[in-house]
Structure 1
């Protein structure tokens, strides 16, 4: 209970929420979904651990600032998947849909911290490609180890502050109706819709949040590649253009895998159940494919992983 300008506001704190998973999915299919998530999670862990170990043990990768961002992407994918998937498996495989109030907020914080960090990491890699392709003579002056560490640290600080604000706003809500979350995790949007007191502030912040952490990064990346495309048209030969663009293929693939499901979810009117399925896939598939793409399309990383596997073998 809180007094505000002569009015008394009652805050009802629930002890737990119920995360139901996929509302439209019949219970007999829950285990199939869970095993699918499990396979993706194991692949994610193996692939990203290999990337992290390759960067940690291979000095040639450490000498290139770009691979600091690749290492951060691998760490973010590994951390984000570990925050999300084990609880999803617990819900589906062991029928534990109940999650305490504090655990739900913690669960949500880590999930929402890692998801936008993936987008911001793609911004860093887009900037790296912009300088490498458009201003190659200035690359080693503009993209340094200090610059990369500073940019990544700044983005992590920014994301943590933004998500903390979102969580604090959520703690001001009162739940006196339902505690059932029709999603596969503690979804910020659905949790604030369950509240029965004034949620104007959190709605405004919730509408502003996707613009800040998703759409602005996407706009930056699109304009970056428009500029790169313009720069490539000025390259003398077709062979040089193709060679320059090949250095961008891995990053373009990551951008498409990450943003296309999100664009479909937020720009096309789809059934809420399909929205949940689409969001779940966009949460688990990019972290699985990111290391595979970088290993297959980046020669330096491919050689480092091969050497690592030979050494461990």
Structure 2
């Protein structure tokens, strides 16, 4: 339990650091949750790193689809690393603080890799749409050059968006209260602590959120709807099964990621309690990056075959 410090001065107190309250975990369960989150983080790191290595080592996976998967795994790896190490450190700290500059930096990279994942999910949906609906033209439409362009555009857009929000946040003043009721420097939590006018920040969040989150989500839904429509034209149980196997698992993670993010940042803040915000944030910052390697890649036959080939080569070398 941490007491909120009372900072007073003649004019205005400048905040040099923030206090992260973290998760509402009873002290007797702290070790259990620490081990749980550490396991989740290590699983996330190992799963995504394994995918990147497999795609790099196996020449059969040097295709646009797996190039996008590699970028998604890198994004998930970094996205989880923005918040989880600090959360684990603070769970073992008596004073879970973070410097002002470190808080802004964490917010920037959190937005950057979160946005990057959003755009990569759109690119992956487009890749599957072309592969299933236009199989004969797939190699010409999804050329290596176009794939690189999609990734570069994603990086540029995410850089602009994250920098915009970070600069707008840096102009705000924080006085009196420096306690963030969250496990990381969340943008909405920081806005609630500011003693400056935050109308511009909230307007930009709403407008840019529609561009960065809602439009990509709609594009993904449309892509998968066209995929299902194309497969259902083939009157066979195999076609229907293929449609669900292709889209079902992907859409579940897409819905989990976009649903929580849209509900958290685009809905009015008055509707979200602190507990609700924390749970929703945990879903897309901790759970989704851990599930993506299993849903998007490790259930894929090509990825499992590549894994088997790599292990077979190592066994032969050892022998």
Q: Same fold (TM over 0.5)?
A: yes
Question: Equivalent residues in 2 for 1:175-214 (5 A)?
Answer: 175-214=174-213
Verify: 1:90 aligned to 2:89, yes or no: yes
The separation in 2 between residues aligned to 1:77 and 1:60, in whole angstroms, is 23
8 Å CA contact 2:19–2:96 kept in 1: the answer is yes
Runs (4 or more) in structure 1 with deviation over 6 Å come to none
The separation in 1 between residues aligned to 2:217 and 2:12, in whole angstroms, is 38
Return the offset for 1:264.
5.8
Provide the residue aligned with 1:34 in structure 2.
34
Aligned length: 302
Return the offset for 1:44.
0.7
Return the offset for 1:253.
4.0
Provide the residue aligned with 2:15 in structure 1.
14
The alpha-carbon distance between structure 1 residues 11 and 115, as it changes in their structure 2 partners (threshold 3 A), is farther
Q: SS at 2:276's partner residue?
A: helix
The alpha-carbon distance between structure 1 residues 261 and 192, as it changes in their structure 2 partners (threshold 3 A), is closer
Return the offset for 1:309.
3.5
Out of 114-123 and 156-165, give the one that drifted further.
114-123
Provide the residue aligned with 1:235 in structure 2.
234
Provide the residue aligned with 2:280 in structure 1.
278
Q: SS at 1:18's partner residue?
A: strand
Question: Equivalent residues in 2 for 1:241-280 (5 A)?
Answer: 241-243=240-242, 245-262=244-261, 265=264, 269=271, 271-280=273-282
The separation in 2 between residues aligned to 1:95 and 1:216, in whole angstroms, is 43
Return the offset for 1:224.
1.5
8 Å CA contact 2:232–2:239 kept in 1: the answer is no
Question: Equivalent residues in 2 for 1:21-170 (5 A)?
Answer: 21-22=22-23, 24-62=24-62, 64-170=63-169
Q: SS at 2:174's partner residue?
A: coil
Return the offset for 1:99.
0.8
Q: SS at 1:17's partner residue?
A: strand
Out of 246-255 and 165-174, give the one that drifted further.
246-255
8 Å CA contact 1:34–1:88 kept in 2: the answer is no
Return the offset for 1:39.
0.6
The alpha-carbon distance between structure 1 residues 123 and 308, as it changes in their structure 2 partners (threshold 3 A), is same
Return the offset for 1:72.
0.4
The separation in 2 between residues aligned to 1:292 and 1:11, in whole angstroms, is 50
The alpha-carbon distance between structure 1 residues 50 and 207, as it changes in their structure 2 partners (threshold 3 A), is same
The separation in 2 between residues aligned to 1:215 and 1:40, in whole angstroms, is 28
Return the offset for 1:66.
0.8
Return the offset for 1:270.
5.3
Q: SS at 2:68's partner residue?
A: helix
Return the offset for 1:241.
4.3
Q: SS at 2:196's partner residue?
A: coil
Return the offset for 1:251.
2.7
Verify: 1:297 aligned to 2:299, yes or no: yes
The separation in 2 between residues aligned to 1:199 and 1:261, in whole angstroms, is 23
Q: What is the TM-score with the length of structure 2 in the denominator?
A: 0.87
The alpha-carbon distance between structure 1 residues 312 and 97, as it changes in their structure 2 partners (threshold 3 A), is farther
The separation in 1 between residues aligned to 2:267 and 2:199, in whole angstroms, is 23
Aligned mate of 2:289, from 284, 287, 290? 287
